[in-house]
Amino acid sequence: MIEVLQAGLCDLVMDLGRPGRAALGVPAGGAADRAALAAANRLVGNDPSAAGLEIILSGPRLRFPSGGVVALTGARFDAVRSSGVPVAWNETLVLAAGEALTVGRVGTGCRCWMALRGGLASPLVMGSRSTFLPAGFGGHRGRPLQAGDRQRCGAPAAEVKLGRAMPPASEAEEGLRVVAGPQIGQFDDRGLARFFGTDYRVQPASDRRGLRLAGARIGHRRVELPSQGVLPGAVQVPPDGQPIILGWDGPVTGGYPVIAGVIAADLPKLAQLKPGDAVRFVTVEIEMARALAAAPLEIRELG
Amino acid sequence: MGKQTIGQPVAGQAGWRWVTERGLRVATGETTLARYRLLVSRALPDVEDIVPADDSLLLVLKRGAALPPSVRAALIEPLDEPSGAASGTRHEIAVDYGGAAGPDLNALARQAGMSEATYIERHAATEYTVAFLGFQPGFPYLRGLPDTLQAARRASPRQRVPAGSVAIGGRYTGIYPADGPGGWHLVGRVHAALFDPQRQRPALLMPGDRVRFVPS
């Protein structure tokens, strides 16, 4: 059981999402970095698909009336326990009854994930406990946590083996790796040169539906384009020439030309972008994108 | 961009394009629904999702998977009934047209050179087919809107469109399942719940279903 003493900017209950329902207009959603949530779950003895919290930029203050076992992964936030002791990342933490955990502001990056032993017991909606904010369902009453909320945890899946672990580190190389999109032929040489040769900045009006970018205008032929199926990572270019990278809760169909698609292996990098960050796109071949994605979601056990 | 092996059939593959390495967009034109039904009727390996859209399908592969040969074959297999019509459920949906429920009806009718009553009569006289769902969960893109009723989307979208609004967007008419922003012209409102995630069948209307609007 957790009690929300103070809510963060947008604390969302997330598991691995609800894939396979796009024909209903419902995106898969789920944790923006599945490996990070799975690693946190492993540290508390949960199944990788247990529901935890996705925390963005500034986190909540939570109380554990009967104690608990938690783990945090992803971007490091300034977080402390009731005693004032800083909270370690990628480690199993045992909290005493009545103890509180305060997740403050993020350092570098944007999002972290908190797993709780037993997993958050939000009801399953369409096969998942993930919050889907655009339609207000899933998670905790379809909305971010608020002060005063209480959430129960389920029965633990396995014994906790106190330990340290972390999801695979994203490649240090610069840039978001993309494959060429279905409408790349609609863009002129100058537009393509700008897209691949200049930095774009993440705009404040970005969320789990999409990351809005601003930078050199990407020109393209305006043709009436039928709505087509899209998925997270698709980079759309609306008539204003400013790209939008579709996110985890983005629409399942879109009517703007898709210039490129961020590869699955780099979607966790998207999860850590925040307004003001610079983005540069680099191309890779489809076969390489697949090989990178096929690597198992290995969790590194630390000493 | 996909690798083609010499000797494999390539018919129809001119319209295959990758959106990401997991998402294959397949141009399907008139046969979208028929192809969609054929694909969902098969247990296709490594396919996570299939998204019918406007004259195309998006095949979403599982992470790291390449396009399996059986899926490739199912994409070019001849169809028994290419249009895929005449197998969906029929729905009659009551609509309050005009007034506060349809604030754009008057302007649309004037633009089309007809009275509000004629616009309503023509909108309700047509049997529509659900081409696909998108934009919001349960939002149906209804095909069959008469040419004379079509209208380009609003120059600036509304911040809030009420749930149940019946709208016109280009060559489609549709229904907003939930409150939210929207750029289509609003001509009326229905009381039916288009989407409820708690229902056994969350979306009232499914691709291939047929819809008649009944003025109330």
- Asked if the Cβ–Cβ distance from B64 to A290 is below 8 Å, we say yes
Q: Is the dihedral of CA B45, B48, B54, B56 positive or negative?
A: negative
| End residue of a domain, out of B76, B105, B125 | B76
Is residue B2 in a domain? no
Q: Which of A20, A134, A294 sits opposite B49 (nearest CB)?
A: A20
Nearest to B104, CA basis, from B125, B119, B126, B118: B119
Q: Which fold has domain A172-291?
A: Cyclophilin (2.40.100)
Distance, in Å, from the CA atom of A234 to the CA atom of B20, rounded to the nearest integer, reads: 7
| End residue of a domain, out of B25, B44, B76 | B76
Nearest to A242, CA basis, from A220, A219, A213, A262: A213
- Of B85 and B13, the structure prediction assigns the larger pLDDT to B13
Mean pLDDT of A194-199: 96
| ipTM of predicted complex | 0.93
Identify whether residues B124 and B62 lie together within a single domain. no
- Asked if the Cβ–Cβ distance from A179 to B18 is below 8 Å, we say yes
User: How many domains does chain B fold into?
Assistant: 2
Is residue B85 in a domain? no
Identify whether residues B103 and B175 lie together within a single domain. yes
Q: Reply yes or no on whether the pLDDT at B208 is more than 70.
A: yes
Return residues 118-177 of A near B (CB < 8 Å): 125-126, 132, 134-138
Identify whether residues B96 and B202 lie together within a single domain. yes
B contacts of A134 (beta carbons < 8 Å): 136, 180
Identify whether residues B183 and B126 lie together within a single domain. yes
| End residue of a domain, out of B76, B107, B127 | B76
A73 is written with which tokens? 């992964």
Q: Say whether residue A238 is in contact with chain B using an 8 A CB cutoff.
A: no
Is residue B66 in a domain? yes
Is residue B141 in a domain? yes
Residue extent(s) of CATH 2.40.100.10 domains in chain A = 172-291
pLDDT at residue B214, as a whole number: 98
Residue B152 sits in a domain of what CATH number?
Answer: 2.40.100.10
Q: How many CA atoms does the CB half-sphere of B32 hold within 13 Å?
A: 29
Per-residue pLDDT tens over the stretch A105-155? 999 999 999 999 999 999 999 999 999 999 999 999 999 999 999 999 998
A246 is written with which tokens? 């579709």
Identify whether residues B170 and B209 lie together within a single domain. yes
B contacts of A23 (beta carbons < 8 Å): 36, 49-52, 132-133, 206-207
- Asked if the Cβ–Cβ distance from B48 to A182 is below 8 Å, we say no
Residue B46 sits in a domain of what CATH number?
Answer: 3.30.1360
Is residue B11 in a domain? no
Is residue B192 in a domain? yes
pLDDT at residue B86, as a whole number: 58
Q: Reply yes or no on whether the pLDDT at A168 is more than 80.
A: no
- Asked if the Cβ–Cβ distance from A231 to B65 is below 8 Å, we say no
Is residue B203 in a domain? yes
Q: Reply yes or no on whether the pLDDT at A296 is more than 70.
A: no
CB A14 within 8 A of CB A113: yes
Per-residue pLDDT tens over the stretch B77-130? 999 876 655 578 999 999 999 999 999 999 999 999 999 999 999 999 999 999
The pLDDT confidence band at residue A301, using thresholds 50, 70 and 90, is low
Per-residue pLDDT tens over the stretch B38-68? 999 998 999 999 999 999 999 999 999 999 9
Identify whether residues B96 and B191 lie together within a single domain. yes
Mean pLDDT of B130-140: 95
- Asked if the Cβ–Cβ distance from B203 to A25 is below 8 Å, we say yes
Per-residue pLDDT tens over the stretch A30-71? 999 999 999 999 999 999 999 999 999 999 999 999 999 999
E strands, chain B, are 16-20, 23-27, 47-52, 56-61, 90-97, 128-133, 140-143, 158-161, 165-169, 172-175, 180-182, 185-190, 210-215
A87 is written with which tokens? 């909270």
Domain of B27, in residue numbers: 16-76
Distance from CA of B26 to the nearest CA of A (A): 9
Identify whether residues B127 and B189 lie together within a single domain. yes
- Asked if the Cβ–Cβ distance from A293 to B63 is below 8 Å, we say yes
Q: How many CA atoms does the CB half-sphere of A123 hold within 13 Å?
A: 7
Distance of CA B194 to the CA centre of its chain: 14
Return residues 179-198 of A near B (CB < 8 Å): 179-183
Identify whether residues B97 and B143 lie together within a single domain. yes
A contacts of B15 (beta carbons < 8 Å): none
Identify whether residues B123 and B206 lie together within a single domain. yes
Distance, in Å, from the CA atom of A79 to the CA atom of B153, rounded to the nearest integer, reads: 47
Identify whether residues B137 and B97 lie together within a single domain. yes
Distance, in Å, from the CA atom of A91 to the CA atom of B13, rounded to the nearest integer, reads: 49
